[in-house]
Amino acid sequence: MNKDIKQIILTSEEITRITMDIAGKINKDYIGKNLVLVGLLKGSICFMAELMKYIEVPCKIDFLAVSSYEDGTVSTGRVNVLKDMSMPAENMDILIVEDIIDSGNTLSFIVDLLKAKKCSSVEIATLLDKPSKRQKQVSVKYIGKEIEDLFVVGFGLDYAQYYRNLPYIGVLKESVYSEQK
């Protein structure tokens, strides 16, 4: 375990099990549809890569890069689109793949952005959900695990761009980010 991690909340094995379960539901729900997995960069990379391994229905992938954290621990509330989808979204069944949902501000913005592109449908799959932090309600179809209000890193989740490479998800010691302020 990394010295900056206080506690592991999801092991690599648990992440795989959760991801396989979500993929099984997606496989049933998207038969005969025009599925496009849209990963939100950079945090969703690990979850999306793991999820794709178990999706059996035909699908395409694309990415959006948005920012609302600016290297901090709390969302600023302002969403900046850094990279839009590279393929047309019209008439596609979009499944947004996210690492974690807390405030809901970013996802609310993205859902509206994609709906304006005349998609057939827009749904959300997330590995982690923090409903206690929700400021804007978003409909999430696939949730891996609900967690408390903890600052977690690993498996794509970061603090100031670090810790994404951890194969598990853990609670970052407060001393790591409080000394950076």
Task: Give the pLDDT of residue 149.
Answer: 94
Write the DSSP string, 49-71. Answer: HHHHTT--S-EEEEEEEEES-TT
Task: Give the pLDDT of residue 153.
Answer: 98
For residue 102, indicate whether it is catalytic: yes
C-alpha 122, offset from chain centre: 14
**Sheet containing strand 121-129, strands side by side:** 80-83, 59-67, 35-41, 93-101, 121-129, 142-146
Q: Tell me, which fold does domain 17-147 have in CATH?
A: Rossmann fold (3.40.50)
Give the active site residue among 102, 112, 129, 149.
102
* C-alpha span between 123 and 71 (Å, rounded): 27
Q: Render pLDDT for 92-135 as a digit per residue (tens, 0 to 9).
A: 999 999 999 998 988 999 999 999 999 999 999 999 999 998 99
pTM: 0.91
Residue, of 179 and 54, whose pLDDT is higher? 54
Could you give phi then psi for residue 24, rounded to 5 degrees? -60, -40
Tell me 116's DSSP state: T
Count CB-CB contacts under 10 A for residue 90.
9
- Rounded to 10°, the helix 12-29/45-52 angle is 60
What is the mean pLDDT of the segment spanning 18-44?
97
Q: Render pLDDT for 151-167 as a digit per residue (tens, 0 to 9).
A: 999 999 999 999 999 99
